[in-house]
Structure 1
Amino acid sequence: MEVKGRFRKIKWAILFITLGIYYFTPFIRWDRGPLLPDQAVLVDFERKRGYFFFLEIWPQEVYYLAGLLIIASVALFLMNAIAGRLWCGYLCPQTVWTDLFFRVESMIEGDRRKRIALDKQPWNAEKILKKGTKHFIWLMIAWWTGGAWVLYFADAPTLVYDLATGQAAMSAYVWIGILTFTTYSLAGHMREQVCVYMCPWPRIQAALTDEHALNVTYRYDRGEPRGHLKESKKRLAEGLPAGDCIDCNQCFYACPTGVDIRKGAQLDCIQCGLCIDACDTIMTKVGKPTGLIAYDTDINIERREKGEEAVYRLIRPRTVIYTAIIAAIAGVMLYMQLNRSMTDLSVVHDRNPLYVQQSDGGFRNGYALRLLNKHNKEQAFTLSVEGMPTGTTLEVVGIHKSAADLTKDTQISLSVDADTTRSVRALVFSPAGVELPSSKPMSFKLIDSETGETTVVSDFFRAPGK
């Protein structure tokens, strides 16, 4: 049935906002300077990094993604602690797209009664036209859903042109096809079956909720004993108890998963609030107060039956803990972003051989170094070795020491191209005649010659030992 009310309006508002963000975000531009993509949100496989407006995430910074996933999961727990399956009823992509598909169906085929009548009538021009139009629009929505997804992985305007002219990569067409099929199938045909049978969250949510979480609740203390309007009036005239529920079943007809909320909390209920709107509409028509179905708790029903005031505890230990976890992780991520390093250095010691003895009696260790420059221009660096005895020398294969470096045996200058990494092989030579342990702690220091930013990585110098 067509439901109208505050919760239906909230769902429409969320639908337009979330779908608007999803479909149009790839076309937002963000100037990052020359030779860099100007798409605000982009997962750039070619450059191996992700862009989100002013943020640039490298593969080495995958902890940002981990942090976001943890925040998302804890936020899901927080929503559950506040109002049950709040995510399922308003924000879940399955719910959002199902609402959109259902709206298209209602606009073309009419309300529930008209759709049932249309399904029963034989195939004719009217039925073919309505059914064909509905499925065509569904497919167009599903197609654009798949198309929008791939736009997050390439420059959106360019990819749209390439897709239209048949010049895009085959992988783009394949993914659009897969997402078109899944969106059309899940939102158009399976609908609530996904929520009831396929989604694991209802089972998890049921184990996480508590008695103070708000859930869509039939207030049986007020609604029972139920009966048709005339019957209820007759019972009241006779001095007998009569509830406000007139047994119209509109709450059942409004439910997308077919739940009769009057039977109590059920696993199939997605807490969307449409039954509340349907019931409030009927209560208004028959001149009774709204709120027969509302977000409430069983504890409050029991309290009202005892003549006590309802108690709502949105702030309680679990909601405080969840909020604190989200704030803490967000704070750590913000701190890391504000103190983000624009350079990085990784060191891997040669495994075979661990060391090589030189003709003068000294020893040589080899290391594979990977230098990272996140700046948008070529950057000069100074690489040095610390923690080794006097007389130790550093060499980088393929790089000759500058005049300034010739006076310092353990230092060498080198550069790294803009926005890239550079792999080099470093050789460290111990002085002859110096006795070393089998594993001597030492470190490589990388200094940005322009900004002074310093990165130090500890390792070991291997030798035979005593």
Structure 2
Amino acid sequence: MSNTSVQDDIDLDYGPLYAARKKVFPQKVSGTFRRIKWGLMGFCLGVYYFLPFVRWNRGLGAPDQAVLIDFPNKRFYFFFIEIWPQELYYFTGLLVIAALVLFLLNSIGGRIWCGYLCPQTVWTDLFYAVERLIEGDRRERMKKDAAGWNLERVSETVLKHSIWLMIAWWTGGAWVLYFADAPTLVWQLLTFRAPMLAYIWIGILTASTYVLAGWMREQVCVYMCPWPRIQAALTDEWALNVTYRYDRGEKRTSVKKAKELRARGEPVGDCVDCYQCVAVCPTGIDIRNGSQLDCIQCGLCIDACDTVMTKIGRPTRLIGYDSDINIKRRTEGKPEIYRVVRPRTVIYCGLIAVVGAIMLYAMLTRSLLDVNVLHDRNPVAVKLSDGSIRNAYTMRLLNKRGFDRVIAIDIDGPVNATVHVVGVDSVTQDRPMIVLGRDQTTELRVLVTAPAENNTEKSVPVRFRITDIGLGETAVTTDNFVTP
């Protein structure tokens, strides 16, 4: 190779390593999928913003907020369900079910979550709606962006960002309402008497909502979210994704040219290269280039293409939910096949049913009375003056019901052993009774004493049993009685 050719290779300009990110101006569109997105956005935002104000009667003295995360009292309330800290495994089950539902949706219809239900999508859609209302549609926004700054654009920008900040502020404010009584906290916030922690979290969530939905927008989906990478590994050839049906669309040409070609009997596709699918895309991609990481499969390109096809008198759904298998079958003259029920979806549904059944069974059969015992470690046992042996325990009783209960304490284990609760007078000599307050835990000091002559073993299992005198409900735990 000559020195000249080597130098030519060295001087060759390959361009930048990373392409510059183009500003996206999504165009307004109407149609089936846009209406679905409006409906889901209204529903999701309505639930998020107003659910804290829904009331639920749990009885006298109990919080009446339907959904409440009560950190001071270590409770989570969801309508008729009350979760205690010891029952966090329910949240694990919910997370497992949520992941499986996400996998199931992906195996049926691709990134349904991303396109319709993801908070980033919902709030970005809302921010886009505000932007269009103030600054106009795609062409108007592009012209104003190219023209530079003037008084009109400054006023529109200030108004737009002010509304964005108001939405972001109420988003952060609604979040903190799930952690305290909503009407009370709203009044405290308005009168500047709310806890400082509430203002801090509102500020954090206001800033994050404003930045993510107002500024970063589609870049969150493309660069920050891990789900597109995971989804690509989970999908299969039968999953329905937003697809350009190139078997029908190619070759592309204008409407006028297409009529001429069809009149001569020459093959021509339905795509007229109008770029409406690109104009309405929130990530600015061309769906005709095939499956892409940037596509959130919101379906807006389907609505845009259907509008054009209707105007030119061609069949709709040139872009639609489809699979590569069906495109291949159509090119071969075979009928389309849709397999929603297949091993993958059956397995996901089965796992969701199993985990849901386990959680439901655990919820329906869970005990609302519980007991835990911790043996003293120093000393583990004491020999009294009469020769008997005493072990001390810390007992924690748990009452999950909304009313007081009379609880009797019994033990099974050492021969002729007696139990005494420190600070509590026993109704009978060998069966102490206490009043256990509603919806609370109580810690007791329990002493178990046994004659030494009847208990010669070094360690004897001892079972503590508590009984609700009124309901007959019991709870049992086991420890050891130790001889020094």
- What range describes the TM-score normalised by the shorter chain of this pair? over 0.9
Q: Are 1:211 and 1:298, in contact at CA under 8 Å, matched by a contact in 2?
A: yes
Partner of 1:457: 477
- C-alpha distance in 2 between matches for 1:439 and 1:289: 84
- Map 1:67-466 → 2, pairs under 5 A: 67-389=93-415, 391-402=416-427, 405-406=428-429, 408=430, 411-463=431-483
Partner of 1:15: 41
Secondary structure (helix, strand or coil) at the match of 1:433 reads helix
Cα displacement (A) at 1:141:
0.4
Residue type of the alignment partner of 1:200: P
Secondary structure (helix, strand or coil) at the match of 1:401 reads coil
Q: Give TM-score, length-normalised by structure 1.
A: 0.95
Cα displacement (A) at 1:378:
2.2
- C-alpha distance in 2 between matches for 1:438 and 1:273: 73
Cα displacement (A) at 1:233:
2.2
Secondary structure (helix, strand or coil) at the match of 1:324 reads helix
Q: Are 1:276 and 1:291, in contact at CA under 8 Å, matched by a contact in 2?
A: yes
Unaligned runs of 5+ in 1: none
- C-alpha distance in 1 between matches for 2:483 and 2:234: 56
Cα deviations across residues 264-310 of structure 1 (Å, max 9, x unaligned)?
11111111111111111111111100011110100111111111111
Q: Are 2:243 and 2:319, in contact at CA under 8 Å, matched by a contact in 1?
A: yes
Cα displacement (A) at 1:359:
3.5
- C-alpha distance in 1 between matches for 2:149 and 2:456: 92
Secondary structure (helix, strand or coil) at the match of 1:113 reads helix
Q: Which moved more, 1:118-127 or 1:182-191?
A: 118-127
- C-alpha distance in 1 between matches for 2:251 and 2:150: 47
- C-alpha distance in 1 between matches for 2:256 and 2:457: 98
Q: Are 1:383 and 1:413, in contact at CA under 8 Å, matched by a contact in 2?
A: yes
Secondary structure (helix, strand or coil) at the match of 2:132 reads helix
Unaligned runs of 5+ in 2: 1-26
Cα displacement (A) at 1:70:
1.3
Cα displacement (A) at 1:28:
1.0
- C-alpha distance in 1 between matches for 2:247 and 2:188: 62
- C-alpha distance in 1 between matches for 2:196 and 2:175: 15
- C-alpha distance in 1 between matches for 2:459 and 2:136: 80
- C-alpha distance in 2 between matches for 1:212 and 1:352: 65
Q: Are 1:362 and 1:434, in contact at CA under 8 Å, matched by a contact in 2?
A: no
Secondary structure (helix, strand or coil) at the match of 1:78 reads helix
Cα displacement (A) at 1:435:
4.0
Residue type of the alignment partner of 1:423: E
Runs of 4 or more off by more than 6 Å in structure 1?
Answer: none
Partner of 1:2: 28
Secondary structure (helix, strand or coil) at the match of 2:166 reads helix
- C-alpha distance in 1 between matches for 2:367 and 2:89: 14
Cα displacement (A) at 1:6:
0.2
Partner of 1:57: 83
Partner of 1:30: 56
Q: Are 2:110 and 2:235, in contact at CA under 8 Å, matched by a contact in 1?
A: yes
Q: Are 1:228 and 1:246, in contact at CA under 8 Å, matched by a contact in 2?
A: yes
- C-alpha distance in 2 between matches for 1:435 and 1:15: 70
- C-alpha distance in 1 between matches for 2:359 and 2:75: 18
Residue type of the alignment partner of 1:59: P
Secondary structure (helix, strand or coil) at the match of 1:47 reads coil
- C-alpha distance in 2 between matches for 1:198 and 1:109: 28
Secondary structure (helix, strand or coil) at the match of 1:458 reads strand
- C-alpha distance in 1 between matches for 2:244 and 2:148: 40
Residue type of the alignment partner of 1:305: T
Q: Are 1:360 and 1:432, in contact at CA under 8 Å, matched by a contact in 2?
A: no
Q: Give TM-score, length-normalised by structure 2.
A: 0.92
